[in-house]
Each structure stands twice: as C-alpha cells, then as structure tokens.
Amino acid sequence: MPDRATKPQRVESTYSVREEAPLMASVHRALFFALLFSSAFLAAECTNDHRTNKNGGILVTDFTISGTQTIGATNLARITTAFIGSCFDEDSEEVEERLRASFQDRGYFKVEVKSLRVKPADPLGVPKPVTLDAEVSEGLRYRLGQITFVDNHAFDAETLRREFPLKTGEIFERDKIARGLEGLRKLYGSSGFLDYTAIPETRFDSNATTNLIMTFQEGPQYHMGKLDIAAAKEAAARLRSEWKLAEGAVYDATYIDHYLDDNRNLFPVSFSRENVQIFQNCPDALVEVRVIIDPAEDPSHPEPKNVPCAKHETKETQK
C-alpha cells in the first residue's frame, strides 16, 4: 500500500519537471505572437494616419458630437465618419483643430469647440483605441462675398482670382481658400517672386457673407544665375545639357522638381532633392543652383551663400 500511494506522486513530480517548462514556453510564445499580431492589426486599422510617432498615438473608434443647432445630419455624419478609423498623436489640441477645420470646410467659419473628451478603451493599446465626445457650437454658415487684391503688381486681379476655386455666393470653405493661397504661391514662385507674401484678411458681414482681402508684398523678381554640378566630368556635362533654364532667364521655383523627375535615370539611386542647394542673392535678384552628386567634384570655391536685402529696401527700390 505505501508503494502504491507514493508511485503516483513520483509520476506527478516527474511530469511537472519535464513537461512544465516546455508548456510555459509555448504559452509565452503564444502570448508574444498574440500581442505582436494584435499591435499590427491595430496599426493597420489607421485608415488615415496623422501621427508623428507611429509607435504611439490614438485610434478613434467612435465619435459623438453634441450641441449643434443648424448643421444637417448628413454633414455631421461625414465629419464623424472622417475621424473614425483615423489615428492621431495623443494631443487633444491637434484633434480640436482638425475638428474645427472640418466645420470650417463646410462654411461654419466661426465654429467653437466648447469641449472635447477623449475616452481610452485600452490604455495599453498601440495605437490606443479611444472614443471622442465633443460639444460644438457651429454658428452661422458663411458664403463668399468678394475677394479683393491689394498691392499686386506682377499679376492683375483677374489672374489672381482664377486661383481660387470659389465663386461669389458659394459656401466659404476653408479648404478651397487654402487651395487658392497655394495656387498663388506657385504662380508667383514660377515667375521668380521667391520672397512673395500674401496676407489674407477676412471680414464678416451681417448677412452671413465673408469678404476676403489679400494684401501682397511681392519682393524682387529673381533670375537664374550660375549653375554648378558637382559630378564627374562626363556626368556633369550630360546633366548640364539637360538643364533648360538659361542664365539670366526669369527663375522658376517649380523647375528643379521637373528637371529631377525628367532626368531621374541620370542620377544615382541615392540622389534626392536634398542634394540640390539653392542660394538667393536678393540685392542682385539672382539665384544660384548647385547639384551635388560627388562632393569631391564640387567646383564652388568659396561656397556661395544667401544674401538678404537690406532692411531699408522696399519692393519699390527692388524693381
């Protein structure tokens, strides 16, 4: 009887020593891969990823907006749907600004986000799944009145107006105004006005219309100066022959990107836009361009530098 009582105990003891370690290792491996695949799955669910750090942030799984008065259910649903599934940095101010912009893109230019609550569902998730709850007062929905241009000399008002994809009387959409400003930047940049600035001012009328006043500081019109290509002699000659912006011609700020795209096969695989240096000489209104493929072949001695205009110089003295 004693032998019968002790034998099963020895079997249990033997089992725990020989089998428990592999079993626990298997469990640990399973947990590890479960966590790994879980993180990958969550990251893959970022339909729009606005994070600066891809190893953190939040994933919006649901969004409720309350407090609105006049915005329609369809527009409200489009706003919340755009957020759901998107990832952001863990910064409520950034999310608030994006929410404000969503309303402004629909004409509610004076929208006020009164509160925004972020509720995490899994604090350990990467990204962290959260629900959003916002109270918003959208205010009036504005339409475009007039766009007025002040101190523009290089282009007439009709040319500038074409850059804005909005007609008088249409909903004053923030996104379309931003596209118009970007169009102006490209228009001026392609015509050599590299120091151009345009200051927008909005004036709201009592009849829910918005007038936009654009005040310009155009600066000097730059021309193409010297082109340096730091590369072996044969490669430099080939690249120089493909450069079509002649010295003395009006400088086009968009030309370099076209040049690089059209001649990609002539550059090393590692070459990037960062290997192109641009130097502005404001008093002479000239631009010098350096394309660096092999620094050892750099012909620029001394190295050029940016030369700003004197503070007292104005756009009238620069003409």
Residue 264 is assigned to a structural domain of this protein: yes
Residue 202 is assigned to a structural domain of this protein: yes
Give me the domain span that covers residue 104.
48-137
Could you give the number of structural domains in the chain? 3
Domain end position, chosen among 161, 186, 217? 217
Domain end position, chosen among 107, 137, 167? 137
The residue written with tokens 């298997």 in the block is 26
Whole-angstrom Cα distance, residue 44 to residue 85? 10
DSSP of 235-250: HHHHHHHH----TTSB
Return the closest-CA partner of residue 283 out of 256, 240, 318, 259: 318
**Could you tell me if 218 and 149 are in contact, meaning their C-beta atoms sit under 8 angstroms apart?**
no
> Are 89 and 125 part of one and the same domain?
yes
Residues 6+ apart with CB under 8 A from 96: 113, 116
Residue 62 is assigned to a structural domain of this protein: yes
Residue 235 is assigned to a structural domain of this protein: yes
Residue 31 is assigned to a structural domain of this protein: no
At 168 the pLDDT is 96
Taking the alpha carbons at both ends of the chain, their separation in whole angstroms is 114
Q: What is the CATH number of the domain that holds 267?
A: 3.10.20
Domain end position, chosen among 137, 169, 204? 137
At 203 the pLDDT is 95
> Are 284 and 231 part of one and the same domain?
yes
Q: What pTM does this model have?
A: 0.76
The bridge status of strand 112-120 relative to strand 58-66 is: unpaired
Residue 299 is assigned to a structural domain of this protein: yes
> Are 131 and 157 part of one and the same domain?
no
Q: What is the CATH number of the domain that holds 191?
A: 3.10.20.310
Q: Residue 283 belongs to what H/E stretch? A: none
Q: pLDDT truncated to tens, each residue of the chain (319 aa)?
A: 445 544 444 444 444 444 445 545 554 554 444 444 444 444 447 899 999 998 999 999 999 999 999 999 999 999 999 999 999 999 889 999 999 999 999 999 999 999 999 999 988 888 999 999 999 999 999 999 999 999 999 999 999 999 999 999 999 999 999 999 999 999 999 999 999 999 999 999 989 999 999 999 999 999 999 999 999 999 999 999 999 999 999 999 999 999 999 999 999 999 999 999 999 999 999 999 999 998 887 665 667 789 998 764 544 444 4
At 305 the pLDDT is 87
Residue 114 is assigned to a structural domain of this protein: yes
Residue 38 C-alpha from the chain's centroid? 28
Residue 186 is assigned to a structural domain of this protein: yes
Amino acid (1-letter code) at residue 132: L
> Are 181 and 198 part of one and the same domain?
yes
